[in-house]
Structure 1
Amino acid sequence: MALHTNPNIFHYPTSADITNNSHGSDWLWAVTAFFAFFTCGIIGDSYLVPRRARAFHYLAAAVSVVTTINYFTMASNLGYVAMFVEFVRDKAHVRGDTREIYYVRYIDWFLTGTLLVLATLLTARTPLPIMLWTLFLTWMSVLTLLTGALVASSYKWGYYVISILSLFGVVYNLLWTARRYAARHTSAISRTYLSLAAWLSFMSLIYPISWGVSEGGNVIGVVGEMVFYGVLDTVTRVGFVGLLLWGHRQIDPAVLGMAMRDYGEDEIVEKIHRAGEVAPAEATEGGVVETA
């Protein structure tokens, strides 16, 4: 049965019938510009806090940078392959046998998903094994959706189910397992963590719906797909970054083990840095180390 449905010889299409258009491209350029400015805003905001407290600004900026590159790529009509659709529709916006599948989006999700989950778990000072397991489930949820999008047969829905189960595992760890670690810290940490975990969990559960009506079920066209994902990405990431940076203004990063060592805190290192000198560990004379 499987060999009949998924034959050994499969000819990948060289072009797509269901494609993006100028309106979709204009929308993607708008999202690109927004996240480019948003990145600048995050970097600017980082200068309002001490250097030792900027770790989460770096994570937030990384999310925004990856998003900008992703939307720049899609707006440029790059980062996609053509794939046969399982369901052939009659409506004009989804008429045809092949559809554009933007693999660059999944690269974005893999990277930004890692960063978003990591920032959330670091807020709770989650133990490393739980953190790694949650990140693994995050990667599984993205990679199986990518695999499903590149499968022309009904077997794509098997990968879809695996992705949803993996996503449920991520949500469980965020809302239950890691939340108990956050509750052991101050009220500011617990409150910030809960807001991040709840927001990320809720928004993440909408993505399978978007996939199901676009790459999966071919219900909406590529332009509708771009608008759906664009709004979803913008609301999810801007909301998350806002909660993250605002919440951590009330948290001492040292409590979470996230305080970075500032070279200005060490007087000796600072003196050497400014004078460009090398401080010898032992007194020398004529190139010979003096010993007692």
Structure 2
Amino acid sequence: MSNPNPFQTTLGTDAQWVVFAVMALAAIVFSIAVQFRPLPLRLTYYVNIAICTIAATAYYAMAVNGGDNKPTAGTGADERQVIYARYIDWVFTTPLLLLDLVLLTNMPATMIAWIMGADIAMIAFGIIGAFTVGSYKWFYFVVGCIMLAVLAWGMINPIFKEELQKHKEYTGAYTTLLIYLIVLWVIYPIVWGLGAGGHIIGVDVEIIAMGVLDLLAKPLYAIGVLITVEVVYGKVGQGGSLAFDCLKILKWWKLLWFQLVSIHFSLCVCRVTSYFLLN
């Protein structure tokens, strides 16, 4: 099995700094913009501020620790660096990316729960597979892909079931954004299979590919979501049925506040984990 460039170099680190800068800039721009938006639109802004802030934190941790070349999986010729901070990022940001779309629907809580559960399981199988040596890693890869198919099926349901649709104005944009996100999320396991899984591409190439996907799936996707809610809100108006009531905003704000607090926790986890792995 080939294993080109099994460790991160300055090329990968530079790419991580670039992604960090873009994510941080997006978070700052969204944070400024939300101050001038009406209350019913602010929840979506907060979700995407959290996404970009968490991603920026993760990429900062990756760039700072990238030169340590640890932790690794395998030994000898098969040894390869595992960029574990990206999985910590995904555990927090992928549910929020789905939440962007969930807020455009009338999904029941039970449905949201198993979709989010499948999402977290997908990430968990990804990181376990990355640290697994030999052909056993492909078991985790396949199960992770099954989890992706499960959550994709759940997210597709509102397109065809009217009872899950919030408003006809949302349906077209929801479909477009969902297809865009699913296509990107299908590319992620392909890159994983070529990198952490198959050792066909080097760590630097994997970092660059994942970074491009993260930029497309986070700040660019966020712009599409924000344009959607702005346009629909403009059509329906402040008195329309799409406006969120204050209690619902407060309910979701508690969730987002927890996610924002977890940003600092995730950075601490990265630091503590690095300490134990490097010593």
Report the TM range for the smaller structure's normalisation.
0.7 to 0.9
Which of 127, 132, 139 is the aligned partner of 1:158?
Answer: 139
| 1:22 shift after superposition | 1.1
Matches within 5 A, 1:71-220: 71-77=59-65, 80-84=70-74, 96-177=77-158, 180-181=161-162, 184-220=165-201
Which of 214, 224, 237 is the aligned partner of 2:218?
Answer: 237
Offset from partner CA, 1:109-139 (integer Å, 9 cap, x none): 1111110112211211211111111101111
| 1:181 shift after superposition | 4.4
Offset from partner CA, 1:5-49 (integer Å, 9 cap, x none): xxxxxxxxxxxx821111211111111111111111111221231
Offset from partner CA, 1:166-206 (integer Å, 9 cap, x none): 10111111123565247744332112221221111111111
* Counterpart residue identity of residue 246, structure 1: I
Cα pair 2:194 2:201 within 8 Å, conserved:
yes
- Rate the CA distance shift 1:192–1:259 in 2: closer, same or farther, 3 A: farther
The CA RMSD measured in Å over matched residues stands at 2.3
Q: Distance in 1 between matches of 2:172 and 2:32?
A: 25
Q: Distance in 2 between matches of 1:161 and 1:136?
A: 17
- Rate the CA distance shift 1:182–1:195 in 2: closer, same or farther, 3 A: farther
| Count of paired positions | 237
Q: Distance in 1 between matches of 2:242 and 2:143?
A: 33
Which of 232, 235, 250 is the aligned partner of 1:251?
Answer: 232
**Residue in structure 1 matched with residue 58 of structure 2 by the alignment:** 70
Q: Using structure 1 for the length normalisation, give the TM-score.
A: 0.75
Unaligned stretches of 5+ residues in structure 1: 1-16, 89-95, 262-292
Unaligned stretches of 5+ residues in structure 2: 248-279
Q: Using structure 2 for the length normalisation, give the TM-score.
A: 0.78
Moved over 6 A (4+): none
Higher helix proportion, which one? 2
Offset from partner CA, 1:55-114 (integer Å, 9 cap, x none): 0101000110011011111111259511117xx8xxxxxxx3311101111111111111
Which of 59, 69, 72 is the aligned partner of 2:47?
Answer: 59
Q: Distance in 1 between matches of 2:131 and 2:169?
A: 44
Q: Distance in 1 between matches of 2:28 and 2:179?
A: 27
Q: Distance in 1 between matches of 2:165 and 2:27?
A: 33
Which of 221, 224, 246 is the aligned partner of 1:260?
Answer: 246
Identity %: 25
